[in-house]
């Protein structure tokens, strides 16, 4: 009897293992959502140009999905130091959407009044990317609503890895966090002081008069610090995401980001 019991136990364990494997989905099952509102530093961002649309969907294990979609409404504005930004939010009430993720990175989507289309998809690093043909609404139609970018929590992907997740906390990020914790105390400590910091280059904006502004991100805050360089040529060779050292004078903490003036590169 003991040998028979051993055989029975083996098959029971094998059956459990097989059942667990069969429950794993080859598709991006679960909840996914695009960012509902965000401010962009360039008028060429796909959200601003209406190339990108909002999606909030729930994907089943078989690849089918249901949810809602919407366009974005964007308003440009001029911030500190003449830096242009564009604030975008959902345009009107979201409409129903459905479809299916298929094998090989292909799928189909039904956007109601706009019609149906095939799409290609990828899921990597916590982001789901959906791309439709640019002309899916017909020849001669505006090339809009042909891509969506989604995450699990509906937050935009950070421009740089969140500090602490990769390497030590850089001094530029540490300064920003001092301001967010106690802006009054930080201004008393740093306003008017010229300090040397280190950070990673974010958005690069050309300013009139030959200058440039560089944004430095902190986690999901893509514009934590704004550095103003009088000489654009000095920083034009720094690539996005590249770590660099700089000397600046701390100006203020308006619009929830740190303004730094008269910046120069420290070699």
Tokens 């609404």 belong to 137
Residue 61 lies in a domain: yes
121 with 207, same domain: the answer is no
Residue 64 lies in a domain: yes
Instruction: Point out the domain boundary residue: 84, 119, 151.
Output: 151
145 with 32, same domain: the answer is yes
The enclosing domain of 108 has a CATH number of 2.40.128
Residue 16 lies in a domain: no
212 with 131, same domain: the answer is no
Those residues whose C-beta lies under 8 Å from the C-beta of residue 22, and which sit 6 or more positions away, are: none
The per-residue pLDDT for 167 is: 60
Question: What does the block give as tokens for 14?
Answer: 């094998």
CA 1 – CA 25 distance, rounded (Å): 40
| Predicted TM-score (pTM) of this structure | 0.56
Residue 138 burial (CB count, 10 A): 7
In this structure, what are the phi and psi dihedrals at residue 245, rounded to the nearest 5 degrees? -110, 145
73 with 126, same domain: the answer is yes
Those residues whose C-beta lies under 8 Å from the C-beta of residue 25, and which sit 6 or more positions away, are: 61, 62, 63
Tokens 């430095």 belong to 216
Residue 8 lies in a domain: no
The per-residue pLDDT for 219 is: 80
The per-residue pLDDT for 82 is: 54
Q: What is the pLDDT along the chain (267 residues), one digit of tens a residue?
A: 444 444 333 333 344 444 444 455 789 999 999 999 998 877 778 898 899 999 999 999 999 999 999 999 999 887 655 566 789 999 999 999 999 999 999 999 999 999 999 999 999 888 999 999 989 988 766 779 999 999 999 987 655 444 444 568 899 999 999 999 999 999 999 999 999 999 999 999 989 889 999 999 988 788 899 999 999 999 999 998 899 999 999 999 988 899 999 999 998
CA 27 – CA 36 distance, rounded (Å): 24
The per-residue pLDDT for 42 is: 72
Domain, as residue range, for 34: 26-151
The enclosing domain of 252 has a CATH number of 2.40.50.140
The per-residue pLDDT for 5 is: 42
Instruction: Tally the domains of the chain.
Output: 2
Residue 209 burial (CB count, 10 A): 8
Residue 2 lies in a domain: no
74, 87 contact by CB (below 8 A): yes
177 with 215, same domain: the answer is yes
* Strand boundaries in 102-242, DSSP class E: 106-110, 116-124, 127-131, 147-151, 194-200, 204-206, 212-218, 221-229
135 with 178, same domain: the answer is no
CA 242 – CA 265 distance, rounded (Å): 13
In this structure, what are the phi and psi dihedrals at residue 102, rounded to the nearest 5 degrees? -105, 175
65, 57 contact by CB (below 8 A): yes
57 with 140, same domain: the answer is yes
121 with 206, same domain: the answer is no
Kindly state the DSSP code that residue 239 receives in the 8-state scheme: P
The per-residue pLDDT for 162 is: 46
Q: Taking Cα atoms as reference points, which of 219, 251, 267, 214 lies closest to residue 83?
A: 214
Instruction: Point out the domain boundary residue: 117, 151, 185.
Output: 151
């Amino acid at each position: 009897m003991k040998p028979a019991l051993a055989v029975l136990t083996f098959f029971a364990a094998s059956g459990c293992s097989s059942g667990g494997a069969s429950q794993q989905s080859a598709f991006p099952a679960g909840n996914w959502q695009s960012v509902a509102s965000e401010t962009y530093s360039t008028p060429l961002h796909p959200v601003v140009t209406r190339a990108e649309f909002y999606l909030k969907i729930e994907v089943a294990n078989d690849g089918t999905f249901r949810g809602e979609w919407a366009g974005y409404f964007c308003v440009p504005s001029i911030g500190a130091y003449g830096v242009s930004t564009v604030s975008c939010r959902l345009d009107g009430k979201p409409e129903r959407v459905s479809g299916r993720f298929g094998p090989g990175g292909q799928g189909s989507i039904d956007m109601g009044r706009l019609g149906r289309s095939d799409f290609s998809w990828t899921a990597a690093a916590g982001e789901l990317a959906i791309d439709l043909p640019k002309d899916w609404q017909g020849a001669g139609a505006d090339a809009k609503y042909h891509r969506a970018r989604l995450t699990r929590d509906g937050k935009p992907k950070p421009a740089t890895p969140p500090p602490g997740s990769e390497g030590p906390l850089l001094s530029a990020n540490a300064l920003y966090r001092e301001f967010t914790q106690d802006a009054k105390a930080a201004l008393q400590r740093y306003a008017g002081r010229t300090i040397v910091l280190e950070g990673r280059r974010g958005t690069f904006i050309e300013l009139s008069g030959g200058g440039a502004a560089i944004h430095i991100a902190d986690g999901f805050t893509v514009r934590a610090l704004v550095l103003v360089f009088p000489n654009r040529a000095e920083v034009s060779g720094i690539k996005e995401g590249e770590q660099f050292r700089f000397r600046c004078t701390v100006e203020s903490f308006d619009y929830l980001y740190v303004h730094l003036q008269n910046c120069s590169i420290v070699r």
